[in-house]
Structure 1
């Protein structure tokens, strides 16, 4: 049905509120990076209009830091769309501060707490191979 796949990976040692926060930010990153995956707005029977959402499913996985870093490397090798969320972003209060914190990371060993991966199904499957779906 879909030529592409979207996977959101969140670190397994985070508090529940942190996991949910990371997943929400990663999903917004996918929407921004691939606006063509947005569905149409919803309209209720009475004509009330609502916003739109992504038009394809997203799978949510959990992983250790090592698992996230492996998925990141696989995604880079396969030239997938990647949206990273690093631990230092938890201590910032806004997007500009996030974008200043990110380049301070070692690009070869990002301290990832989340990663969105989008691309051809088989390539995404290889990037998330061995990871567990989030319970």
Structure 2
């Protein structure tokens, strides 16, 4: 008789019907890409709480903050690709955040908001866009963008 413990069946891969995506302008410096990505995704959890998973805890019972429950896909594209994606995100009324080139010259949230507020929608000099929504809707918003390398 075999008394070896039986391995538990492999868990089925988790598939999400939603997508979190960031689109960055392709001409950003590496530090800018990281900074813009961090800023863009920071607002999603406050406005779309279902994207946040459970808190983490290590084997020594040290607690850590919860994070997104699903991957964040990062894309890149031209200035024109970003403008088109922004327009499509607006037309689909998807939750979104923007980062404009003006924000590189500010140093706090108040000045960031004022810099965006000072420019009309069509004239925003976008360097980054984050969007959340149904997979197919987000995919259509990102048409023409390529995965970040």
Q: TM-score, normalised by structure 1?
A: 0.95
Report the equivalent of 1:33: 47
Q: TM-score, normalised by structure 2?
A: 0.87
1:69, 1:109 within 8 Å by CA — same for their partners in 2?
Answer: no
Please tell me whether residue 53 in structure 1 is matched to residue 48 in structure 2. Answer: no
Please tell me whether residue 22 in structure 1 is matched to residue 40 in structure 2. Answer: no
**Per-residue deviation at 1:6?**
0.9
Please tell me whether residue 44 in structure 1 is matched to residue 55 in structure 2. Answer: no
Which consecutive aligned stretches of 4+ in structure 1 deviate over 2 angstroms post-superposition?
A: none
**Per-residue deviation at 1:109?**
2.8
* Alignment match of 2:144 (pick from 125, 130, 135): 130
Structure with the greater alpha carbon radius of gyration: 2
2:77, 2:144 within 8 Å by CA — same for their partners in 1?
Answer: no
Q: Which runs of 5+ in 1 are unaligned?
A: none
Residues 106-117 of structure 1: pairs in structure 2 closer than 5 A = 106-117=120-131
CA-atom RMSD, angstroms? 1.0
**Per-residue deviation at 1:33?**
2.1
Deviates more, 1:89-98 or 1:33-42: 33-42
Q: Which runs of 5+ in 2 are unaligned?
A: 1-14
